[in-house]
Structure 1
Amino acid sequence: MNARRGPSGPRRGGGRNGQGRSRPGPPRSRGAGRTGGVRRDGEDRPQRRRSLGGTQVEGRQAVRELLLAQRRKVHEIWIVTDLEGDDAVADIVALARANRVPIEYVARKRLDTAARSEAPQGVLARAGELPEAELGHLLRRRPGHVPFLVAVDQVTDPGNFGAILRSCEGAGVDGVIVPRHRAVHVTPTVAKAAAGAVEYLPIAVVPGLPAALSRMREQGIWVVGLDDASDHTLFDLDRLADDALCLVLGAEGAGLSRLVAERCDMVVSIPMRGRVSSLNVSAAAALATYEVHRHRLNNG
Structure 2
Amino acid sequence: MTRVAIIGCGRVCQRYHLPFIDARPDLELVGACDRNPARTAQLFANEPGVHVGGSVHEILDRTNPDVLVVCTPNNDHVAPALTALSAGIAVLSEKPLAADIEQARLFAAHATGDPLFGVNLPYRFHELLPPFAEAVRGSEVTGIEFGMSTPGDRLWRAFTPWYRDPRLAGGGALLDLGTHALDVLRTVFGEPELRTCSVAGGPVEERAELTLSFAGVPAALRVDRSARTVTMAITAHTTEGKHLLDFRRGELRLADGTIRQATRRPELAAMTAFYNAVGGGPGAVVPAAEALHLQELVIAAYHLAGSP
The normalised TM-score by structure 2 is 0.27
The answer to which structure, 1 or 2, has the higher relative contact order (CA under 8 A, 6+ apart) is 1
Q: Which has the higher strand share?
A: 2
Q: Of Structure 1 and Structure 2, which has the larger fraction of its residues in helix?
A: 2
Larger radius of gyration: 1
**TM-score scaled by structure 1?**
0.28
